[in-house]
């Protein structure tokens, strides 16, 4: 690839700002310069704006303001095609592969080499009538094989994507960028889906890239990775660039502080907890997710009545599966879940609910609400089969006037802003949708509340409101399991904090006796010497 000896920066992003239609400022005036041939770590929490920034560089999103320079040349990227032509490649967190097609077919997608015309390295987009010509599959497979050998990415070009492991799928994505002659490679959370062994393989590959003089941008929220691989590390927080540091000059502690060390925004008024007897007891719980990968590895936990136990952790470390296993949505492989001493392992969701468990799901659109139902219908969901909603022979007739009355009461108590309880749930704002779920779940008079990311995407007012409701439920004696990716939320609402990493509880802390930095390190998998002793409750 052409590169003048004078070029110092592979990529320069100047004053990039991006506001999404919903009003979320994902990037605020970010200036970032990436040197030719370096591994640059881009660190930040979920929603810090890392992926947005890189999607702008890749031409996937448009910037509102600012300039992009690739090798000193200012560019206006209309689409990823423009970025690819300039040697930028991106491996997305969620792979963009077509499962039934082979590796070769996936790699050449959009750049199908036409037989006879493309034996050389020249890549042309197939268009018009050339798309009717036969494709040179063998030539493409040879090229893929050569790329794979040169970079230590062993793969069978004829294998189907659906038959190969996630780690190999990622290789295909990397080969895809190399096939397009990319020498600036962006990797978005590359290790989030990999096993430890696959992570080691990836690191070897990235070392090879470095030796070959490629520029690598590594997006991550795990501290270990940039500390191992990167030359320089930039930290983003809330859409702002906090700083860029050399690896030699920094420490995991400093990075953790840069990443999460913002002033606490929320202040929850709450008195001391009065823990009673154990409500939820989890013993050696092991759960596999829907793909059959073990997501929860032998967790032991207890939640007492009148207590909020916060589960802190970066998303994808098993907290979703833990909650779904308790709610009866996922079957556990091993271990027991006890509610007030009664075994509820393996019960179906309705039986778990009947036993006194309420569940505020983490994805309100997928699991929490039925958007095509009215607010009244949503408010009865989960209790619709019992009195006072279900009447008549065999409790098969819905008493809608009951549902209306109770919904009116909920709307009043939880001050949900609705024009009409018969309008569809999809017409509500996100905060009010969440309030509908919270109102419905908490009005069931639960013994245990599973609150998964209960304030995600909500504004300050709604967040505060839901926090206060949770605290008042605690004071009334409910046991609450709060799962959140927000450290602020965990620290200000919880009475005890359990840190989850890689499907295991790595530490249990009192909020007063810990700091955001310490939790940040634990969440990022940085084991403390003394914390492992406290890991088991």
Partner 1 sequence: MSEQSREGRHENEKARFNPINNIMRMVSDPSFQKTAIWSTGSIILALVVVSVLMMMTGYNVGLAFLTLLWGAITQFDRVLFFATPLIFTGLSVALAFKCGLFNIGPEGQVYMGAIGAAIVGYLVSLPIVLHQFTALLFGTFLGFLYGLLPGILKAYRGTHEVVTTMMMSYSAILFTAWLVTYPLKDTTQALDRTPPILVTAELPKLIGSFLNFSLILAILAVIAVDYLINKTVLGYEMRAVGQNPDAAETAGINPKKNIALALGIAGALAGMGGSGEILGYHHLFQDNWSVGLGWDGITVAVLGNNNPWGVLAAAIFFGALRAGGLQMQRIAGVPLEMVRVIQGLIVLFVAAPRAIDWLSKRGVDYATWLKTDRVPASVHLATSFMAGASAIVCLSVFGSYSAMIEAGIPGVGGIVALLLFLTSLVSIYALIELLMRKPRGLRLVAFAAIVWLLVAALGYIAGSMLIVWQSLVIGMVSFLLVVLVERVFPETPLDLGGDN
Can you give the binding site for partner 1, defined by CB under 8 A? 327, 329, 348-354, 359, 361, 366-373, 377, 381-382, 384-385, 389-390, 395-398, 400-401, 404, 408, 411-412, 415-422
Least separation in angstroms between CB 397 and partner 1:
6
Q: Cα(383)–Cα(355) distance, rounded to whole angstroms? A: 13
Pair type for strands 278-288 and 294-304: antiparallel
Q: Is 235 helix (H, G, I), strand (E, B) or coil?
A: strand
Least separation in angstroms between CB 294 and partner 1:
22
CB 440 within 8 A of CB 470: no
Q: Cα(253)–Cα(530) distance, rounded to whole angstroms? A: 16
CB 158 within 8 A of CB 141: yes
Q: Which residues pair with 454 in a beta bridge?
A: none
Question: How many Å separate Cα 469 from the centre of its chain?
Answer: 26
Least separation in angstroms between CB 401 and partner 1:
7
The structure tokens listed for 216 are 């690598």
Residue 263 or 392 having the CB closest to partner 1: 392
The structure tokens listed for 236 are 């983003």
* Residue from 368, 327, 349 nearest 457 by CA: 368
Residue 119 or 385 having the CB closest to partner 1: 385
Least separation in angstroms between CB 316 and partner 1:
18
Residue 280 or 376 having the CB closest to partner 1: 376
Torsion sign over Cα 285, 490, 470, 25: negative
> In terms of C-beta distances under 8 Å and separation of at least 24 residues, what long-range contacts does 460-467 make, across chains too?
460/265, 460/266, 461/431, 462/431, 462/432, 462/434, 462/435, 463/266, 463/489, 464/266, 464/268, 465/414, 465/415, 465/435, 466/434, 466/435, 466/438, 467/266, 467/268, 467/492, 467/493
The position carrying tokens 């492991």 is: 165
Least separation in angstroms between CB 481 and partner 1:
16
Residue 137 or 373 having the CB closest to partner 1: 373
Least separation in angstroms between CB 393 and partner 1:
11
Least separation in angstroms between CB 319 and partner 1:
16
Pair type for strands 448-452 and 479-484: parallel
Residue 262 or 367 having the CB closest to partner 1: 367
Q: Is 422 helix (H, G, I), strand (E, B) or coil?
A: coil
Residue 22 or 393 having the CB closest to partner 1: 393
Least separation in angstroms between CB 331 and partner 1:
13
Residue 226 or 328 having the CB closest to partner 1: 328
Least separation in angstroms between CB 364 and partner 1:
9
Least separation in angstroms between CB 100 and partner 1:
16
Angle 10-43-64 from CA coordinates, rounded to 5°: 65
Residue 30 or 425 having the CB closest to partner 1: 425
Greatest alpha-carbon span in the chain: 85
Residues 6+ apart with CB under 8 A from 325: 285, 287, 296, 331, 332, 337
Residues 6+ apart with CB under 8 A from 415: 435, 465
CB 283 within 8 A of CB 537: no
Residue 347 or 497 having the CB closest to partner 1: 347
Least separation in angstroms between CB 473 and partner 1:
19
Residue 239 or 361 having the CB closest to partner 1: 361
Residue 155 or 287 having the CB closest to partner 1: 287
Residue 172 or 421 having the CB closest to partner 1: 421
Q: Cα(501)–Cα(516) distance, rounded to whole angstroms? A: 16
Least separation in angstroms between CB 462 and partner 1:
12
């Amino acid at each position: 690839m052409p590169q003048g000896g004078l070029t110092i920066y592979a990529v320069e992003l100047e004053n990039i700002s991006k506001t999404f239609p919903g009003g979320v400022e994902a990037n605020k005036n970010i200036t970032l310069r990436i040197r030719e041939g370096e591994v640059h770590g881009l660190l930040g929490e979920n929603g810090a704006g890392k992926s947005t920034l890189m999607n702008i560089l890749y031409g996937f999103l448009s910037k509102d303001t600012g300039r992009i320079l690739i090798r000193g040349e200012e560019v206006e990227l209309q689409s990823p095609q423009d970025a690819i032509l300039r040697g930028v490649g991106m491996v997305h967190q969620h792979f963009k592969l077509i499962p039934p097609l082979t590796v070769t077919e996936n790699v050449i997608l959009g750049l199908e080499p036409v037989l006879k015309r493309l034996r050389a390295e020249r890549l042309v987009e197939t268009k018009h009538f050339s798309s009717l010509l036969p494709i040179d599959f063998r030539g493409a497979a040879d090229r893929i094989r050569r790329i794979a050998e040169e970079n230590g990415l062993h793969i069978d070009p004829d294998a189907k994507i659906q038959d190969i492991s996630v780690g190999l799928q990622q290789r295909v994505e990397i080969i895809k960028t190399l096939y397009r002659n990319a020498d600036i490679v962006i990797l978005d959370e590359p290790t989030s889906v990999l096993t430890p062994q696959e992570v080691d393989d990836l690191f070897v590959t990235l070392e090879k890239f470095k030796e070959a003089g490629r520029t690598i941008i590594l997006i991550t929220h795990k501290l270990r990775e940039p500390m191992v691989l990167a030359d320089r590390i930039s930290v983003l927080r809330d859409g702002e660039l906090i700083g860029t540091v050399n690896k030699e000059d920094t420490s995991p502690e400093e990075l953790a502080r840069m990443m999460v060390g913002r002033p606490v925004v929320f202040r929850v008024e709450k008195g001391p907890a009065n823990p009673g007897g154990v409500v939820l007891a989890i013993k050696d719980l092991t759960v596999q997710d829907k793909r059959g990968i073990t997501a929860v590895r032998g967790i032991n936990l207890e939640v007492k009545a009148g207590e909020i136990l916060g589960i802190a952790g970066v998303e994808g470390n098993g907290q979703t599966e833990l909650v779904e296993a308790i709610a009866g949505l996922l079957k556990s492989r091993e271990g027991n879940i006890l509610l007030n001493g009664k075994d509820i392992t393996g019960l179906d969701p309705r039986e778990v609910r009947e036993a006194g468990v309420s569940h505020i799901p983490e994805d309100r659109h997928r699991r929490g609400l039925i958007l095509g139902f009215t607010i009244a219908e949503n408010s009865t969901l989960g209790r619709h089969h019992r009195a006072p909603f279900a009447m008549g022979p065999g409790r098969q007739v819905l008493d809608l006037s009951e549902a209306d009355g109770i919904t009116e009461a909920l709307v009043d108590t939880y001050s949900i802003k609705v024009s009409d309880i018969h309008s569809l749930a999809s017409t509500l704002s996100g905060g009010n949708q969440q309030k509908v779920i919270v109102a419905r779940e908490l009005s069931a008079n639960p013994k245990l509340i599973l609150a998964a990311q209960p304030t995600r995407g909500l504004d300050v007012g709604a967040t505060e409101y839901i926090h206060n409701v949770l605290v008042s439920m605690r004071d009334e004696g409910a046991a609450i399991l709060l799962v959140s990716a927000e450290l602020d939320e965990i620290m200000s609402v919880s009475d005890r904090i359990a840190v989850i990493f890689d499907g295991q509880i790595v530490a249990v802390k009192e909020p007063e006796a810990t700091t955001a930095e310490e939790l940040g390190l634990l969440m990022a998998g940085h084991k403390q010497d003394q914390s492992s002793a406290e890991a088991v409750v």
